[in-house]
Amino acid sequence: GAVVSQHPSRVICKSGTSVKIECRSLDFQATTMFWYRQFPKQSLMLMATSNEGSKATYEQGVEKDKFLINHASLTLSTLTVTSAHPEDSSFYICSSARDRNYEQYFGPGTRLTVT
Amino acid sequence: AQSVTQLDSQVPVFEEAPVELRCNYSSSVSVYLFWYVQYPNQGLQLLLKYLSGSTLVKGINGFEAEFNKSQTSFHLRKPSVHISDTAEYFCAVIPMDSNYQLIWGAGTKLIIKP
């Protein structure tokens, strides 16, 4: 149990376009979902925390108008990178958490390349 | 504020040798502790966690970790490593007063030499 999927696994887009990444918890209801960004050979950087049905809480320095997060249901969260630029190229990882479990379940990640 | 320090960015070790990956944390509140592993080009997988109870925690793939509250440490150990253990290992904590938000260490790359 506790499987989290991400789609797509890899995406290449042109500068100026928008890209949507989906994160699904397949076999449980996630009360909280997290979006991370990981630069090469570095740890994960938390971008935002979202609870179902409410607005996401963004970390300092993360542009909420550029990285749009929608947590429409207990099993689905989406991250949209708007007007992508080459510096947005990165590995994006989502995770889901259940109440009183204190464990996050991670998706396999999405490699975004902006050309 | 909380922080997690992984003292070694890389740890090279020969196959079948023991290994210890070090993790120290700083927090004004009690924390839950975790070790995650990331294999090349993959997402993260939970190795083990400490929430309460016995301070020696056993995880998957033969790994174990010991919580030492006085030294604020949670070092990860394995008595005999294999080539397949080559990966990045991340130590993380969740402060008990937070919204499940993980505070991450910088990671330690475990390099297994044949």
pLDDT at position A42 is 79
pLDDT over 70 at B14, yes or no? yes
pLDDT at position A73 is 87
Q: CA-based angle B76:B82:B84, to the nearest 5?
A: 95
Asked if B59 reaches chain A (Cβ–Cβ under 8 Å), the answer is no
Closest residue on chain A to B32 (Cα): A102
pLDDT at position A39 is 84
Inter-chain residue contact A49 with B99, CB threshold 8 Å: yes
CA distance B66 to B73: 8
pLDDT at position A97 is 86
Express each pLDDT in B70-89 by its tens digit: 999 999 999 999 999 999 99
pLDDT over 80 at A115, yes or no? yes
Tell me the pLDDT band of A99, cut-offs 50, 70 and 90. low
pLDDT over 80 at B100, yes or no? no
pLDDT at position A102 is 73
CA distance A27 to A52: 16
Mean pLDDT of chain A: 90
pLDDT over 70 at A100, yes or no? no
Side-chain-facing half-sphere of A19: CA atoms under 13 Å: 25
List of E strands, chain B:
3-5, 10-14, 19-21, 24-26, 31-38, 44-50, 56-58, 64-68, 73-78, 87-95, 103-104, 108-113
List of E strands, chain A:
4-7, 10-13, 19-25, 32-38, 44-51, 57-58, 67-73, 76-81, 90-97, 104-106, 110-114
pLDDT at position A72 is 81
Closest residue on chain B to A103 (Cα): B100
Tell me the pLDDT band of A95, cut-offs 50, 70 and 90. very high
pLDDT at position B42 is 79
Interface with chain B: mutation pick from A106, A110, A113, highest number of B CBs within 10 Å: A106
pLDDT over 80 at B27, yes or no? yes
A44-73 b/e with 16+ CB inside 10 Å = b?
A: bbbbbbbbbeeebebeeebeeeebbbebee
pLDDT at position B97 is 78
Using a CB-CB cut-off of 8 Å, the residues of chain B touching A32 are: 99-100
Tell me the pLDDT band of A34, cut-offs 50, 70 and 90. very high
Tell me the pLDDT band of B19, cut-offs 50, 70 and 90. very high
Express each pLDDT in A49-94 by its tens digit: 988 778 899 999 999 999 999 988 889 999 999 999 999 999 999 9
CA distance B87 to B101: 23
Read off the pLDDT of each residue in B43-61 and give the average, rounded to a whole number.
Answer: 92
